[in-house]
Amino acid sequence: MKEKDVSIINKGCKLNGTLDFKGYLIVAGTVEGVLNAETVITEEGSTIKADVTSKNLTIAGAFEGNITVAGRLTLLSTSNVQASIQCGSLVVEEGGIFNGRITPPSSPPTFNEDNL
């Protein structure tokens, strides 16, 4: 089994710019700009104001921007999302807040790890 890289942006940390991560990214702090990662998981209390491209994305905090997900996008019950979304599949837990639009992909979205 191939091990995945794991990166963490802790509470109190703020990153701004174009960010590329391999493997899993866990966000507990703040990210602004452009974010590319294979799998992103945000914690309750986190804030993302970015354009995100990933294979899978789970949001538990605040999000504002554009989302392109090749696989599954999950909005947890604590999420507050204002976004334009294009994804393979979408799961919204009861209590999750979504304001924006969902556009079905004209072709299946892809995620290219080679760009990281």
34-85 tens-digit pLDDT? 999 999 999 999 999 999 999 999 999 999 999 999 999 999 999 999 999 9
pLDDT per position as a tens digit, 93-102:
999 999 999 9
108 and 89 Cβ atoms separated by less than 8 Å: no
The torsion angles phi and psi of 113, rounded to 5 degrees, stand at -65, -25
Return the pLDDT at 1.
Answer: 42
Per-domain residue ranges of the chain: 6-91
87, 103 Cβ separation under 8 angstroms: no
Residue 41 in contact with residue 27, Cβ under 8 Å?
yes
pTM here?
0.87
* Both structure tokens of 104: 């079905």
pLDDT surpassing 90 at residue 4 = no
Answer whether residue 107 shows pLDDT above 80: no
Least confident among 21-30, 71-80, 98-107? 98-107
